[in-house]
């Protein structure tokens, strides 16, 4: 039990007419938890309600994408990259409203409040002919007066529906790639009519939208806006200008709260900050807004968000005046019960978000079909109902042996032990963690170690016998006479089969990260991996003063990192001086050169001047022990888990292990 006192975090706050039971907010996160598009289904309710049940006081759930003024015949634009634009909106569907109302009632029954976010999210319309998303080239249609009027009406109609559903708050989305944002920004708003001009003129659209909503729904529902604390875009507004605009908007008396995050949707910085960002990095923006707005007669609460995964930090932010309310979205994805655990003094039991960004990557550019919300470390996310149905105490406790203490093995052991089985985990290394430990050595990825701590604590609490520095073989496993065995022996780095690969100056990236291999000053990184491993290794080397050149097989580095995070990965490569040559496949290595062939054809390249060659070429599954146990046939229940089955990512290993824990 922790003796940390939360003197502020769990106190209620009056925000306009709404009483928020505590300061912890799930700001809106469109993780697409419903499996019935356009409807609130039981999966959506289970996902967001879990957070209310877990003690989060404010539920922002998922955004309402509003209707847009398409001209006759023009197709809707529903694109993962360009943004979402439709002539219809969910609030116009009676079935949606009915199911939403039930959701609101369910959240209220848990004592939490519901906020509805109204969003025109699109790259199709903008005040001026400038792409809304800075990193893209989607040219928007320029909004005319009738279309602007259409937008106000859609805000007002949606607000009426939100109020009728019993929701407690409405928030107009004026950050990220929304129309509200594009009016506030000097980059995307270059109008010379009444909607454009200096900072104050550029707030007119937002103020007019708020006025229209207030005229329609009155003062009995809290009203706020979501804003970006600083644009971080060439020519965009900085925090000083945002403060000026915000004060001007708040002076109208229309606002009850401001919901501030910082960053944009292409990642540098991202408003869903990855582990490369410090916790609550832009907290001073929250404090400044709070100080400014405190000068007004009407109290305007400040909700601040941005990589806050720890209730102790949240308490500090409230107690030291950085904000009134704390946004903690991914904290609740990683562990929906984190608030209750904190209040009950069970801090050590919290599974802290590692900010790997898989949740937003998956929501914005899904890798899985059918799509389900995904978290690298919480296997239940997106499958809440299945877990509810399938999670049962074991009818008869079994002797379970788990081989391998990576993500898959730890989760299999944790879930099996929670269900009452007697579990022994054998790990050849000095610590649990497997590849999570390797990843955690990279600059900005130390958060991966948090998950290792979580597993170490959880397994100890659950009485799992963990035997470290124990390499399992057929005999060692059989000697334990197990009823069930989970082989989670992971994967090992791929060695490309090319001439010269055995030369002494050729080493593996994993060994470099673990300090097991040293390199000279000039390093060639041979990359045949499209996610985070190559950037991790390259940055680790650059931080140690090496000159790093990456020869990468694909069109650009980290092609599988989605748009909310990729900017930060590439920016860090620039910042540490790493050079990247794309489209190069390794053909051979010699003492003084590397030969490559183009990924697209026959063109050949010879590169020289390197002291060391570091390989990051993906990994190969290690199922040998499983095959031996299978052939032996003496273990009644035998499973192969995680990257020992097929190397993918953390979420896949976590889920696979946990699901086996359910099956035993």
Ligand X SMILES: Cc1cc2nc3c(=O)[nH]c(=O)nc-3n(C[C@H](O)[C@H](O)[C@H](O)COP(=O)(O)O)c2cc1C
Ligand Y SMILES: Cc1cc2nc3c(=O)[nH]c(=O)nc-3n(C[C@H](O)[C@H](O)[C@H](O)COP(=O)(O)OP(=O)(O)OC[C@H]3O[C@@H](n4cnc5c(N)ncnc54)[C@H](O)[C@@H]3O)c2cc1C
User: Looking at 128, 182, 489, 565, which residue binds ligand Y (CB under 6 A)?
Assistant: 489
User: Looking at 89, 178, 376, 447, which residue binds ligand Y (CB under 6 A)?
Assistant: 376
- The item of ligand X, ligand Y, none sharing an interface with residue 272, based on CB under 5 to 8 Å by kind, is ligand X
Residue number with CB closer to ligand Y (259 or 427):
427
Q: Is residue 445 a contact point for ligand X (CB under 6 A)?
A: no
Q: Is residue 26 a contact point for ligand Y (CB under 6 A)?
A: no
Q: Is residue 436 a contact point for ligand Y (CB under 6 A)?
A: yes
User: Looking at 327, 382, 509, 642, which residue binds ligand X (CB under 6 A)?
Assistant: 327
As measured in angstroms, the least distance from the Cβ of 275 to ligand Y is 9
Phi, then psi, of 639 in degrees rounded to 5: -130, 150
As measured in angstroms, the least distance from the Cβ of 523 to ligand X is 34
Q: Is residue 354 a contact point for ligand X (CB under 6 A)?
A: no
- The item of ligand X, ligand Y, none sharing an interface with residue 306, based on CB under 5 to 8 Å by kind, is ligand X
Q: Is residue 313 a contact point for ligand X (CB under 6 A)?
A: no
Which segments of 382-425 does DSSP mark as H helices, in order?
Answer: 384-390, 407-418
CA distance 42 to 46: 6
User: Looking at 329, 452, 477, 578, which residue binds ligand X (CB under 6 A)?
Assistant: 329
Residue number with CB closer to ligand X (30 or 612):
30
**Chain residues 101-120 in contact with ligand X, contact rule CB under 6 A:** 117
SS3 223: strand
CA distance 344 to 3: 10
CA distance 39 to 98: 9
As measured in angstroms, the least distance from the Cβ of 437 to ligand Y is 8
As measured in angstroms, the least distance from the Cβ of 210 to ligand X is 17
Bond prior to 370 in cis (omega within 30° of 0): yes
Cβ-Cβ contacts under 8 Å for 36 (sequence gap 6 or more): none
- The item of ligand X, ligand Y, none sharing an interface with residue 204, based on CB under 5 to 8 Å by kind, is none
CA distance 647 to 98: 43
Q: Is residue 455 a contact point for ligand Y (CB under 6 A)?
A: no
Q: Is residue 89 a contact point for ligand X (CB under 6 A)?
A: no
CA distance 610 to 507: 13
Which segments of 128-198 does DSSP mark as H helices, in order?
Answer: 145-164, 179-184
As measured in angstroms, the least distance from the Cβ of 227 to ligand X is 10
User: Shortest CA distance to 367 belongs to which of 17, 67, 650, 50?
Assistant: 650
Q: Is residue 485 a contact point for ligand Y (CB under 6 A)?
A: no
- The item of ligand X, ligand Y, none sharing an interface with residue 403, based on CB under 5 to 8 Å by kind, is ligand Y
Residue number with CB closer to ligand Y (168 or 455):
455
CA distance 380 to 377: 9
| DSSP conformation class of 140 | P
User: Looking at 258, 272, 363, 426, which residue binds ligand Y (CB under 6 A)?
Assistant: 426
User: Looking at 532, 551, 596, 626, which residue binds ligand Y (CB under 6 A)?
Assistant: 532
Work out the angle between the directed axes of helices 239-251 and 204-217 (0-180°, nearest 10). 30
CA distance 612 to 216: 68
Q: Is residue 374 a contact point for ligand Y (CB under 6 A)?
A: no
Total count of residues recorded for the chain? 664
Would you list the DSSP string of 600-634? TSS-EEEEE--SEEEEE--EEE--HHHHHHHHH--
Q: Is residue 23 a contact point for ligand X (CB under 6 A)?
A: no
Q: What is the CA radius of gyration of the chain?
A: 26
Q: Is residue 464 a contact point for ligand Y (CB under 6 A)?
A: no
Structure tokens at 85: 């634009």
CA distance 68 to 86: 6
Q: Is residue 434 a contact point for ligand Y (CB under 6 A)?
A: yes
As measured in angstroms, the least distance from the Cβ of 659 to ligand Y is 13
Residues 608-627 vs ligand Y: string with x where CB under 6 A? -----------------x--
Residue number with CB closer to ligand X (173 or 419):
173
Residues 267-296 vs ligand X: string with x where CB under 6 A? ----xxx-----------------------
As measured in angstroms, the least distance from the Cβ of 85 to ligand X is 15
User: Looking at 161, 260, 407, 615, which residue binds ligand Y (CB under 6 A)?
Assistant: 407
Bond prior to 302 in cis (omega within 30° of 0): no
User: Looking at 569, 614, 653, 660, which residue binds ligand Y (CB under 6 A)?
Assistant: 653
CA distance 458 to 335: 13
Task: Answer yes or no: are the C-beta atoms of 234 and 266 closer than 8 Å.
Answer: no
- The item of ligand X, ligand Y, none sharing an interface with residue 302, based on CB under 5 to 8 Å by kind, is none
Q: Is residue 262 a contact point for ligand X (CB under 6 A)?
A: no
- The item of ligand Y, ligand X, none sharing an interface with residue 567, based on CB under 5 to 8 Å by kind, is none
Q: Is residue 486 a contact point for ligand Y (CB under 6 A)?
A: no
What per-residue string of b and e applies to 343-376 under the rule 16 or more CB within 10 Å gives b?
eeeebebbbbbbbbbbbbbbbbebeeeeebbbbb
CA distance 542 to 164: 57
**Chain residues 348-367 in contact with ligand Y, contact rule CB under 6 A:** 356, 358
Q: Is residue 447 a contact point for ligand Y (CB under 6 A)?
A: no
Q: Is residue 643 a contact point for ligand X (CB under 6 A)?
A: no
**C-beta neighbour count of 429 within 10 angstroms:** 16
Please report, to the nearest 10 degrees, the dihedral formed by the alpha carbons of residues 561, 567, 568, 571 taken in order: 120
Work out the angle between the directed axes of helices 239-251 and 283-293 (0-180°, nearest 10). 30
Total site size for ligand X, rule CB under 6 A: 26
Residue number with CB closer to ligand Y (595 or 652):
652
As measured in angstroms, the least distance from the Cβ of 155 to ligand X is 15
- The item of ligand X, ligand Y, none sharing an interface with residue 359, based on CB under 5 to 8 Å by kind, is ligand X
Residue number with CB closer to ligand X (118 or 486):
118
Footprint of ligand Y (CB under 6 A): 356, 358, 376, 403-409, 426-429, 434-436, 438-439, 471-472, 488-491, 510, 513, 532-533, 536, 625, 642-643, 648-651, 653
């Amino acid at each position: 039990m922790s003796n940390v006192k939360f003197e502020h975090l769990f106190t209620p706050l009056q925000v306009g007419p709404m009483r928020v039971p505590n300061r912890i907010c799930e700001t809106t996160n469109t993780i697409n938890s419903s499996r019935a598009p356009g409807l609130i289904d039981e999966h959506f309710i289970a996902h967001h309600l879990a957070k209310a049940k877990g003690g989060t006081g404010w539920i922002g759930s998922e955004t309402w994408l509003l209707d847009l003024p398409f001209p006759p015949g023009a197709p809707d634009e529903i694109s993962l990259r360009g943004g979402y634009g439709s002539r219809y909106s969910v609030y116009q569907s009676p079935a949606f409203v009915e199911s939403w109302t039930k959701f609101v009632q369910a959240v209220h029954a848990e004592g939490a409040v519901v906020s509805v976010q109204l969003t025109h999210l699109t790259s199709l319309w903008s005040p001026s002919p400038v792409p809304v998303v800075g990193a893209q080239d989607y040219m928007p249609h320029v909004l005319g007066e009738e279309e602007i009027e259409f937008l106000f009406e859609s805000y007002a109609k949606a607000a009426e529906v939100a109020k009728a559903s019993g929701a407690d708050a409405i928030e107009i989305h004026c950050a990220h790639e929304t129309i509200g944002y594009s009016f506030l920004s000097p980059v995307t708003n270059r109008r010379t009519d009444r909607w454009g001009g200096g900072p104050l003129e550029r707030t007119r659209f937002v103020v007019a939208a708020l006025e229209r909503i207030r005229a329609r729904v009155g003062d009995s529902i809290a009203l706020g806006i979501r804003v970006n604390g600083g644009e971080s875009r060439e020519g965009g507004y900085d925090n000083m200008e945002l403060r000026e605009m915000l004060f001007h908007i708040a002076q109208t008396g229309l606002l009850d709260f401001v919901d501030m995050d910082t960053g944009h949707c292409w990642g540098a910085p991202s408003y869903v900050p990855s582990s490369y960002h410090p916790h609550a990095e832009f907290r001073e923006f929250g404090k400044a807004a709070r100080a400014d707005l405190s000068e007004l007669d009407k109290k305007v609460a400040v909700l601040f968000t941005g990589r806050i995964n720890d209730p102790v930090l949240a308490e500090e932010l409230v107690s030291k005046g950085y904000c009134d309310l704390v946004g903690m979205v991914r904290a609740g994805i990683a562990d929906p019960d984190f608030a209750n655990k904190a209040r009950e003094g069970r801090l050590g039991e919290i599974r802290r978000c590692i900010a790997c960004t898989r949740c937003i990557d998956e929501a914005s550019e899904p890798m899985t079909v059918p799509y389900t919300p995904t978290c690298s470390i919480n296997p239940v996310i997106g499958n809440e109902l299945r877990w509810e149905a399938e999670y049962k105490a074991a009818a008869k406790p079994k002797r379970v042996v788990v081989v391998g203490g990576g993500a898959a093995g730890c989760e299999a052991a944790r879930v099996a032990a929670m269900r009452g089985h007697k579990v022994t985990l054998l790990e050849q290394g000095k610590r649990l963690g497997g590849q999570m430990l390797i990843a955690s050595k990279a600059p900005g990825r130390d958060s991966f170690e948090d998950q290792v701590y979580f597993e170490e604590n959880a397994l100890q609490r659950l009485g799992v016998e963990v035997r470290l520095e124990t390499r399992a073989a057929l005999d060692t496993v059989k000697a334990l006479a197990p009823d069930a065995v989970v082989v989670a022996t992971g994967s090992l780095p791929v060695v490309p089969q090319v001439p010269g690969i055995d030369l002494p100056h050729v080493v593996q990236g994993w060994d470099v990260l673990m300090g097991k291999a040293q390199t000279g000053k000039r390093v060639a990184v041979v990359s045949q991996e499209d996610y985070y491993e190559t950037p991790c290794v390259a940055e680790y080397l650059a931080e140690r003063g090496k000159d790093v050149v990456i020869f990468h097989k694909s069109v650009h580095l980290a092609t599988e990192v989605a748009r909310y995070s990729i900017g930060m990965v590439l920016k860090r490569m620039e910042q540490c001086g790493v050079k990247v040559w794309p489209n190069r496949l390794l053909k051979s290595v010699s003492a003084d050169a590397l030969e490559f062939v183009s990924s697209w054809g026959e063109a050949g390249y010879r590169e020289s001047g390197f002291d060391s060659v570091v390989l990051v070429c993906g990994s190969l599954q290690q199922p040998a022990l499983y095959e031996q146990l299978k052939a032996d046939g003496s273990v009644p229940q035998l499973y192969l888990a995680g990257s020992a089955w097929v190397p993918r990512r953390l979420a896949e290993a976590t889920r696979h292990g946990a699901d086996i824990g359910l099956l035993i």
